[in-house]
Amino acid sequence: MATPAAPNRKRLYQVWKGSNKFFCGGRLIFGPDVASLFLSTILIAGPSVAFCCQVITKLHSHESSHSNASNSDHKHILGLPVLIVTIVIMISDLAFLFLTSSRDPGILPRNSRPPDEAFDVNTPSMEWINATSPHLRLPRTKDVVVNGYTVKVKYCDTCMLYRPPRASHCSICNNCVQKFDHHCPWVGQCIGLRNYRFFYLFISSSTFLCIYVFTLSWLNIIEERKNYNNSLWKSMTGEVLSLVLIVYTFIAVWFVGGLTAFHTYLISSNQTTYENFRYRYDKKENPYNKGILSNFKQVFFSKMPPSLNKFRSWVTEEASEVGSVTIAPYHGISLGGLKEKIDLEIGVRHEFDSNLSVPNILRGLDYTEIENNLQAKERHGLDASDPFAFPVIQHTKDTESLDLSESYSSEDGDIEVARADEERASTTSAHGDGHMQQS
């Protein structure tokens, strides 16, 4: 029996920040457009059930014909084996649809803060605003080596992680997905590493079901034409349901059949839909291509990797962190808080409360300049915890080097130059004395 949870604890799926919808206590995970799953179910099950009803009607008609000697030689192609095969294909198709849409496609766990190793990356993408203000910007990409090829991986601002090779962020589900192929609206789910196998089986079984119903519906019309020696048009009008199924499956097979052919090509070349449209790999440039047989083996016969998220695990709701070092992409560094993470007085490094080491890039900060700025804030009465509050320091001139001493009147704003008046008075007096002596 499960231990009751504390009031401040919830299941991971209850606080998940993605757009997914969970059912059965987090055991089933769907995309936000899960309603499209019901539409796909109707589009598959509706024609299949109608075809099965037609086969059952033909079976009943065939049994009745045995009692009538004139119709005993009529042949009916829609027999019991056809009914059984149709039901098996329909159930398999719906099962693959459900497996594709209800499982974790390979969602990457989110980070609550940018990874520390991001600042240890030696890449030209690392940017600095200027030399005196060490505001760091995370590199948008970094290089990794895959099978001897250099591949760029991008940083995801939403999930705060560097996506592994072949991963991408789905804007509909709001998740980063491993080996992201595309978001399929017909299944209402992302197609990725953990459900691509079932997605291919779903579209291929749908294609086979369309071809199967299309072929048998035509054979039924042809057989009725032979039994009653009617024209083709009269036989078609006599088998209205077969005609409707022919038109429906003919239209549908172009979609699911084309999709199956396209993904067969992608598997043979070990590509995803996203990679095919974005990168257009050539044969020599694709770092993931291992040959046709190995590529198919990797998709269908490799071990299914486990989910990276335990959606039913108990988690504590994240509280707002106070006094932490926040390093966000393209937003600079914010230092300060109730508890300093870097000792500005003696210039030594401390570790975070979570025992995570300070990134190497922070170890090269000019502590002297930061210390002087903080001390200046304290002298001017500013908040030392505000990283953007800096005092305006006015450099005063030496009053002794000035010839004039200016004072400003607080009443009328007139400027009185005291020393200048005294000098003019003394000069006037000296000239007056000189004239008196000459006389």
Strands 168-170 and 161-162: unpaired
d(CA 376, CA 381): 9
Q: What are the tokens at 162?
A: 């560097």
Whether 390 and 397 have beta carbons less than 8 Å apart is answered as no
3-state DSSP assignment of residue 189: strand
Of residues 255, 104, 115, the one with CA closest to residue 170 = 104
Q: Which residue has the tokens 């993904």?
A: 263
d(CA 293, CA 412): 95
3-state DSSP assignment of residue 232: helix
Q: What are the tokens at 135?
A: 């505001």
Instruction: Please indicate whether residue 52 is annotated as part of the active site.
Output: no
Of residues 176, 36, 172, 165, the one with CA closest to residue 110 = 176
Whether 168 and 177 have beta carbons less than 8 Å apart is answered as yes
What residues form DSSP beta bridges with 171?
none
Whether 173 and 190 have beta carbons less than 8 Å apart is answered as yes
Of residues 307, 242, 314, 229, the one with CA closest to residue 77 = 242
Residue 248: enclosing H or E segment and its boundaries? Answer: helix 240-269
Q: Which of 52, 156, 170, 184 is catalytic?
A: 184
Catalytic residues, which ones? 184
